[in-house]
Amino acid sequence: MKVKSRRHMVLFSGSANPALAKDIADILGEALGDVDLSSFANGEIYVRYNQSVRGSHVFIIQSHSPPVNYHIMEQLLMIDAAKRASAMRITAVVPYFGYARQDKKVLPREPISARMMADMFLAAGADRIVSVDLHSGQIQGFISQPFDSLTALPVFTEYLQAQGNGPWVVVSPDSGRVKVAERYARRLDARVAFIHKRRSEHNEAAALKVVGDVEGRHVVIVDDMIDTAGTVVGAADLVRAHGALSVTVMATHGLFSPPAIDRLKNANIDEIVVTNTLPMPDDIIHLHNVKVLSAAPLIADTVHAIFMDESVSEIFMGDNV
């Protein structure tokens, strides 16, 4: 008996960000798979695939947007269901990876939640994880399976270059992301600066000092996320006080938790640029200085490379670390 070798890709979307999943599928020329996602009366999640996934390479796309715990559990159950249905390989595509900020112990008796997340994905049956701009690259080392950490850097730098402004200074909102700022600066032929800040408690940070020269230049503040917006608003005020000509904030993930919208409405920021890794609240989209770029092409190219066993690093010219 002769058996013909074949590859079969199936894309499924969780309920968190179906618009992004559809964009990814459209770019790949695939239709999203048919899956039943619902809840029991007591809130427990029910998952069932309405088509065969046996022998397929299954990609399960789900951002961990609010309600975060619900969407994490939904994706874990989708992975488990695919494993039990004899999928050949399962890749969890997580544009925004929940609990990524809790990647180490800062105080006694705290959990390392990002490590626990990685353990849960492995236990559920994921063979690979794909995410965009992790809060900390060390999370990739929390699992023994491949973990592709993508970056939205090409999307942001292409947008800036199309605007034609300059000279630029790329500013990291804290010392921990200076290396990321340097990658942006290389592509933009720009200087680098960073903000020295002090964090007193969760979601509370004070910008204290600009390290670097921003006077007479267009400032680009780069970060992985905007949550309550305290960090970027404080950084914007500080660089303005040091003579910046304009301030653009670029963050991959727009969480916009309260009071972010109120802060951004009154902030001294010319433009706020985010990607669609998370669904955008209507009151953010309607702000005049907010621009949402699509991360779908980057993710789609990565999914195709993984499916074809090709290099992911070549897509990002080595910046995806």
Could you list the active site residues? Answer: 197
The alpha carbon dihedral of 259, 269, 167, 255 has a sign of positive
CA-to-CA distance for 131 and 103, rounded, in angstroms?
15
List Cα–Cα distances, 162 to 191, 221, 229, in angstroms: 19, 17, 26
